[in-house]
Chain A
């Protein structure tokens, strides 16, 4: 394994807050929401629908939170001078970026898998094996949008603002994108807003797959467009303020 990759993974893994918010919290929310809304279901068919829907929403919430949390941290490494220190070793700058992308992508997986397991074994969500794998796979692939967003936020903001942004951006994206309460209960204006959120399209990938189909082209294209936009902006910010710049 690449030494920098192993090093970064160990650092994030040591952060209990990170594990709490990206794995435990979405898992608990899955149970909580399903108990409330599943209990209102009129029959087993509707219960399955509700339970699967909340599970997918919480997988998306956990996945985007994990991706953001792992990548926004680049701001702390800049502020501490660590990236500057790393710049005077033979480690190439491109590797620093690549490793953060890889770490962000990999760390999305535990949230997705744990929430899926809770859905299956606590809430008794019934899906075929192929569907389970496709569901985790599609949400894993889609998390790249939030890896890009996290890098953008981490590069653009200073340490303090970035620290707040880790929790804030995730919750705002989840709330407005219909992950905490489904968009069906949103008023019209907020529903329009939800459709402008990458989190909505991210969860849509999962909803499409959980319903037994393929992800809709609209969702794939929308998320791809967000990813490209975030990545392009991150590159612009990185050009203006290199990783090793301490301030300004």
Chain B
């Protein structure tokens, strides 16, 4: 089967800065994939390159076997962009209609309204939309041509908690209908709730790829927390990938809890309120990101 999205050896540069280096990623039709990573990880850069908005310094991108400009022209892809927008002096219904008509096949209007959650907004001037409503209209534009591949770049960034949850339901529904959905996010909760595959990206490279459960299990990260005075010297502890101080509680994320604990106990008589916990997805990603930065993970 032709992959919905095939990225191979993709390198992207902004001037001298390498934003994405030698990225390989293949996504099969029907998958819902989260591109997860901190701000500046290269997620938007990848989305833009897939859409042909950013030229590749090296490598190839194919959407259902077509190069990006051809795929966009053929209506194979719909997108919600980070810097996409709506035209002034237009009504929502006119914009939706224009975009629907530009695609070879249009998503039936009644169903589009329900799916994107833009009921009652069609007669509104674009200027009168709230942030969340705007996002939903932009989603409607991404869906308007019923494209096989949907690329959503931080789709819930302007939404409140309720809006975000409703949006997740929509995204799952899209996957149920056989659409391939690729969305960039820095919300772990979102990736966990929606995606059947999580690709963790940091520094423009893939540092983990699998189900949310696999990503969590794939890292042996644990957190160690105990009460320690502020400014306690903890430099050079083995296996520690990150540390944080909250009040008097110090939390260390470690790739190897026993090694770290042994070193800690060698230094001091006791570790008050000691806790060792398995990693949440958030911890897993933080440790992956930290390891990626240190170059420890390939």
Contact = CB atoms under 8 A, between A and B. Distances in A.
Interface of A: 3-4, 7, 10-12, 14-15, 76-77, 80-82, 84-85, 87-92, 244, 246
Contact of B99 (A10, A15, A89, A92): A89
Nearest to A246: B83
The list of the 10 closest CB pairs from A to B, nearest first, reads: A81-B85, A80-B85, A85-B84, A82-B87, A88-B79, A246-B83, A11-B89, A89-B102, A91-B102, A90-B75
A246 B54 CA distance: 12
B86 interface: yes
B114 interface: no
11 contacts: A4-B98, A7-B94, A10-B94, A11-B90, A15-B89, A80-B85, A84-B85, A85-B85, A85-B141, A89-B99, A89-B102
Nearest to B125: A14
Contacts of A88: 51, 53, 72, 77-79, 81, 84
B101 A92 contact: no
Contacts of A10: 90, 94
A10 B87 CA distance: 12
Contacts of A77: 87-88
B103 interface: yes
Interface of B: 51, 53, 72-75, 77-79, 81, 83-90, 94, 97-99, 101-104, 138, 141, 144-145
A96 to B, nearest CB: 11
Contacts of A84: 53, 81, 83-85
Contacts of A85: 81, 84-86, 138, 141
Contacts of A82: 84-87
Nearest to A247: B83
Contacts of B103: 89-90
Contacts of B72: 87-90
Contacts of A91: 102
Given A81-B81, A84-B83, A11 B88 contact: yes
A3 B98 contact: yes
* Residue among B98, B104, B145 with the highest chain A CB neighbour number at 10 A: B98
B235 to A, nearest CB: 41
A244 B86 contact: no
Nearest to A91: B102
Contacts of A89: 72, 75, 78, 99, 102-103, 141, 144-145
Contacts of A15: 89
Most buried by B among A4, A90, A244, A246: A90
A123 B85 CA distance: 47
Nearest to B84: A85
B10 to A, nearest CB: 18
A90 B81 contact: no
Contacts of B138: 85
Contacts of A92: 73
A4 to B, nearest CB: 7
B88 A80 contact: yes
A14 B125 CA distance: 11
Contacts of A90: 72-75, 102-104, 145
Nearest to B144: A89
A79 to B, nearest CB: 8
A7 B102 contact: no
B87 A80 contact: yes
Contacts of B79: 88
A92 B145 CA distance: 15
B133 to A, nearest CB: 16
A188 B9 CA distance: 66
Given A85-B138, A88-B72, A89-B99, A76 B83 contact: no
A220 B263 CA distance: 87
Among the interface residues A10, A89, A90, A246, which one has the most CB atoms of the partner chain B within 10 A? A89
A125 to B, nearest CB: 35
B147 to A, nearest CB: 10
A10 to B, nearest CB: 7
A204 to B, nearest CB: 35
A81 B83 CA distance: 6
A92 B141 CA distance: 16
A84 B83 CA distance: 8
